[in-house]
Amino acid sequence: MKIETVDFFYLAMPDVKDVGDGSQDALLVRVRGGGFEGWGECEASPLTSIAAFICPMSHSACKPVAASVLGQNIDTPTDIARIAVELDLNSMDLLQAAHSWSGVEIALWDLLGKRHGEPVYKLLGYERAYPKVPYASQLFGQTAEETRTLCRKAKEAGFRAVKCGWGPFGRGSLKDDRDQLQAAREGLGTEGTLLADAGQIWGEDVAAAEARLPLLEEVDATWLEEPFHGSAYGAYGQLAARATSVRLAGGEAAHNAFMARHTMDYGKVGYIQIDCGRIGGIGPAKRVAEHAVKSGVTYVNHTFTSHLALSASLQPFAGLKDHVICEYPIAPQAMAWEMCANHILPDQNGEVHVPHSPGLGIEVDTARVRAFLVDVEITVNGNTLYRTPAV
């Protein structure tokens, strides 16, 4: 079948706040071809990613993403990979292309799955999907007391694993960080899996990060996430060599499979975190999962918006039985929740299951999409290159 149309929908909460909550807006992608419809999502700046899809060509290696996608034939997963290779050359100098293409690529897998009547993980070659243990992903409280309460609530809600990140962590004294981590452990109890996310706060300052290792080991934290800039593989590698029980986690910034491999090979992380909405979609994420298995690294999804994005992010490691932990947005904004008509909910064991219905198995609620839709218009020399389409 032919890729007939690709439409981008920019959704947002009425009031986007200056906080570390990535569920305040979304960029939804709809592809249509052969009577089928597929949906995907970019984890990216919506306006900038729309621009990357429709921008005028600058030269033969700086073409809009649309130039490599529209009108292409697509019948099997090989076709998606072929388009990705063409895009790499056609949009080599368009930095945002990877983020813009990611949502399209995901939508193409959804489309193919629906056409073949198979869930995406089967198209990826997995015989079956194993349940995952979701961790509650949340911000550190402004005070240790607040963090204790947040972790206790997550535990009471049934979560066996909790991640605290960002906020004041790494910005104050060692004592402040120790208080935060101790409070998190107290709230979660001795049994739960505790994860900490530094949000790149130390740049490439290995000493600053190293000073926190004893505090993390004291509370039996499983991982320290993103201590450094996403490209600072050398700093990652040095810190990994100095850690004892704590492993490093990272990779969410990777916008191609190479970068994720480097985070493992040079950065020596124990957990590789991949956002399908950034790395170029599900195809490259699956290749990263294969490399992780070979390298003894655990694959984890990175997801903080809708359950459409969540389903996409689970597919690349759905069939890896031993890679069990998964990121699960615990308190998304109304937009991120309501844009999907069905959801991936923890069962009575607190585990989540990849949908078994064709494609990604998530239905978009077009009425709710309309409610959060942002009107965008981009004109260049009098020609309208983009106007928010009808849902």
**Binders of its own copies among 252-311, rule CB under 8 A?**
253, 255-256, 258-259, 261-262, 265-266, 278
Query: Which residues from 176-215 bind its own copies, rule CB under 8 A?
Result: 199-201, 203-204
* Residue 195 bridge partners (DSSP): 163, 223
Nearer to its own copies (CB atom), residue 156 or residue 377: 377
Nearer to its own copies (CB atom), residue 14 or residue 35: 14
Torsion of CA 259, 167, 102, 58, to 10 degrees: -80
Nearer to its own copies (CB atom), residue 101 or residue 328: 101
375 binds its own copies (CB under 8 A): yes
> What would the x/- binding string for its own copies be over residues 81 to 100, using CB under 8 A?
----x--xx--xxxxx-xx-
Residues in contact with its own copies, counted by CB under 8 A, come to a total of 71
Nearer to its own copies (CB atom), residue 99 or residue 212: 99
Query: Which residues from 99-158 bind its own copies, rule CB under 8 A?
Result: 99
Nearer to its own copies (CB atom), residue 231 or residue 342: 231
Contact present, 310 and 303 (Cβ < 8 Å)? yes
Query: Which residues from 312-371 bind its own copies, rule CB under 8 A?
Result: none
Query: Which residues from 12-31 bind its own copies, rule CB under 8 A?
Result: 12, 16-22, 24-25
Query: Which residues from 49-68 bind its own copies, rule CB under 8 A?
Result: 50-52, 54-64
d(CA 289, CA 225): 18
Contact present, 161 and 153 (Cβ < 8 Å)? no
CB of 288 to its own copies, least distance (A): 13
CB of 21 to its own copies, least distance (A): 6
Of 66, 324, 331, 378, the one binding its own copies by CB under 8 A = 378
Name residues whose C-beta falls within 8 Å of residue 348's C-beta, 6 or more positions apart in sequence: none
- Give me 160's structure tokens: 């066996």
d(CA 269, CA 298): 9
Nearer to its own copies (CB atom), residue 89 or residue 174: 89
> Measuring CA to CA, which residue among 129, 131, 132, 124 is closest to residue 319?
129
Contact present, 344 and 310 (Cβ < 8 Å)? yes
If one counts every other C-beta atom within 10 angstroms of the C-beta of residue 367, the result is 10
User: What is the DSSP track for 163-199?
Assistant: EEESTTTTTS-HHHHHHHHHHHHHHH-SSSEEEEE-T
d(CA 180, CA 169): 8
Binding piece for its own copies, criterion CB under 8 A, among 121-129, 226-234, 238-246, 289-297: 226-234
Nearer to its own copies (CB atom), residue 262 or residue 343: 262
